[in-house]
Amino acid sequence: MDLMRIDSEFFVPFLIFAIPIVAIVGGITAGIVRTLGQQRLMEMAQRERIAAIERGLDLSKLPPMPLAGGGDELSSMYLSPNEYSRRRSQNLMTGGVITLFVGIGVMLFLYVLDRGDNTWGVGIVPFTVGIGLLISSWLVRPRNAEPPRS
């Protein structure tokens, strides 16, 4: 019985500290893997262009080069700059709307849960982050965009 108590007293604090450590190490590892993948993709695109030049092909028929360091997604490799800007603006708007409504939901939930205190103010943080994302979406949207071709 005493052996079980010693084990639980040892493992619970260990697990409490292991979760953030695993999350941090996992996030760093994911960032490294993503960076290596993007670097490899850029290298392959450059080799494709070199092979096209050696064969005498027209480079204008090839898709545009991926954005060096600026490509948020691997799928944005073959997007035009206008399409990339439009997609980035849409992603910021989506994140802004979601975060804005999470903030409103947290404020309403805490207001209904505890009417005596001002705990509802905790929801102001995600609310303002959502507004900031919506403003940044408006700022980065393409201004004089050409209409999409069908």
Distance CA 30, CA 24 (A): 10
What global pTM score does this model have? 0.47
Distance CA 100, CA 123 (A): 9
pLDDT > 70 fraction of the chain, expressed in percent and rounded: 77
Least confident of 45-54, 66-75, 92-101: 66-75
User: Exposed, middle or buried, 109 (CB in 10 Å: 0-12/13-18/19+)?
Assistant: middle
Tell me what pLDDT residue 33 has: 92
Tell me what pLDDT residue 32 has: 92
Distance CA 139, CA 92 (A): 10
Tell me what pLDDT residue 141 has: 80
The percent helix, strand, coil of the chain (3-state, each to 5) is 80, 0, 20
- Mean of pLDDT values over 65-85: 64
Query: In the chain, where are the structural domains located?
Result: 1-78, 80-150
**CA–centroid distance for 31 within its chain:** 11
* Helices first, then strands: H and E counts in the chain: 3, 0
In this prediction, residue 66 has a pLDDT band, given cuts at 50, 70 and 90, of low
- Mean of pLDDT values over 60-68: 71
Residue with tokens 């292991």: 18
Distance CA 105, CA 93 (A): 18
Distance CA 17, CA 129 (A): 29
